[in-house]
Structure 1
Amino acid sequence: MTSSVAQLLSTPVEEVAGKEVPVLDKDFSLAEILKAVEKAKIDRAFLTEGNSIRGVLTFRDILDKIATVRTKQAYIGGLHGSSFMNEPVKYVEVGREVSHALETMANGMFTSVPVVGAGGVVEGGITRFELARLVKDLEISQDTSVRDVMRTFLVSVNLQTRILHVRQLLYEYDISVIPVMDEGRFVGVVGLDELMAIIKSFYNLARGEPKRHTPLKYVIVADAIRMRPPVVTPDASLAEAAEKMLEKRYRAVVVVDSEKPVGFTSGLELANFLLTKKSS
């Protein structure tokens, strides 16, 4: 177990970077990129031009472009990754400290950052899962309650809420998951991963044709809900929350108090926690 946050933050970023995010050419089709992303069990890809980093493509980027009524008939699968990716990309160079990667993520509200070497070649990346691995091994995380780190839920939905309204709320509140309530009971969550699963099931991405006859605007939360997200209480340690994020391999851990969802902890909360403990 690592005892010092300062020691961790001064570590060269390449020593903690992961290799899970697919690195693909920006001209790959969306269908090809999503196939690689699904295999890696992650929600993003680093896109390159030649051997150099050019952009980052995430589920949020994709949903921003295609999860609208007016684009539901678009030839989605044939579009290139460059049509969806975020650019110019923010990255961290090999040799920089972990603290620099965290500051880049926190300042830009990024949930990942590529780590690049000479010539812009991608050597790995820092994602929520790397952060969770780092946090769970810190002694200070055992003594920190989730309530001191979590972000509070300001909105919820029910089983009949339309998926396109969920998308609107995710962007409006700048969050990645929303609790789902059924007659006052917490029954699950819906977020970027669940919306992306609906999009993939709705479209034949390889041919750009809808696979469902029901228009996307009529799809509801009951069709997409994740019933068993990782859950902790407000008094749980941050180390426990990080462990559950890794066990479930999910983007956020929901904080439940007296059977009511009160907040969540995701990669950005972990990054901010580490930065606030910089002198520890």
Structure 2
Amino acid sequence: MESMGEVLRSMNNSALRQRSRDLEQNLLNNPLVKQLQAEHPELDESRLRLHLSRLYQYVEESRHCANCPGLEKCPNDFPGHYSKLTVETVNGSTDLYERKTACNLKVAKDNQDSIRKRIRSFYVDERVLNEGYDEIDIMGKDPRRAPAVNQLFRYIENTKENGLTSRGLYLYGTFGTGKTFLMCYLLHELAVAGHSGVIVYMPDFIEDLKSIMMDGQKLKETVDAMKNCDLLIFDDIGAENLNPWARDHVLGAILNYRMNRKPTFYTSNYPLDGLEKHLSFTSKDGEEMYKGQRLMDRIAPFVDVIPLHGENQRGTNR
């Protein structure tokens, strides 16, 4: 966009000077400038003429915004922002001031970016976290999901109204009923409310611990992130191939820290008693019932159990 200053500097002869005067008059007669004058009669025309560049920028960017091509193609000097003019009196002198102001699209994008920064995922497909959520669609896909979905909605609303408690949710059901999707919805909604969250896909996390354990700093950062986030979701717990070290020193340490402090959430194909049997068995030491019970003492008392019934939704919009 050619600036008003560049236009004026190009005026070197009488014809061009006349063009300059015409441009200036057209600008002063622009409906937006006339509206500004009507709203601020204390701002005389001589003062406006001192700020032709600001008026030109204001009019041009208002025109761009009226025909907005989208945030990515914004033609304004400062993409996602427009020139906003204000009239202020400073030390008894009234003058025109320009401020760059974020448009609604820019504000919405910044809000979404802020929400995404509150959420970390380990081994979970980012598309699940970034896709849109429609509450009617969530409920309407399968009526048998309604009791579970309603309980999830109530948890979200209670948390928004009353803040976090140490109590989470344990969502279990058969393959493909939308457990991960619903927990991602919960995570998104509470991130909008300002809470940080981490979601961990357990089979890949436990498998990756074999390499992470050789990097003490990375292991500490990973475990600390899970300990300290507002909301922690262990997705598909019970599907991992446990070893004693991962169970007792990693998972156990995280759960021991969070109980009575912050809520932890789970999705699983197992009900609680089935999960206890799974946690009691490792590939190295076989069955150790008391160790499974020890972990369950850090899970079961701190969750509300929600069975999720319904058809396998994989391959559809869940």
What is the TM-score when the length of structure 2 is the normalising length? 0.23
The structure richer in strand per residue is: 1
Q: Higher RCO, 1 or 2 (CA under 8 Å, sep at least 6)?
A: 1
What is the TM-score when the length of structure 1 is the normalising length? 0.25
The structure richer in helix per residue is: 2
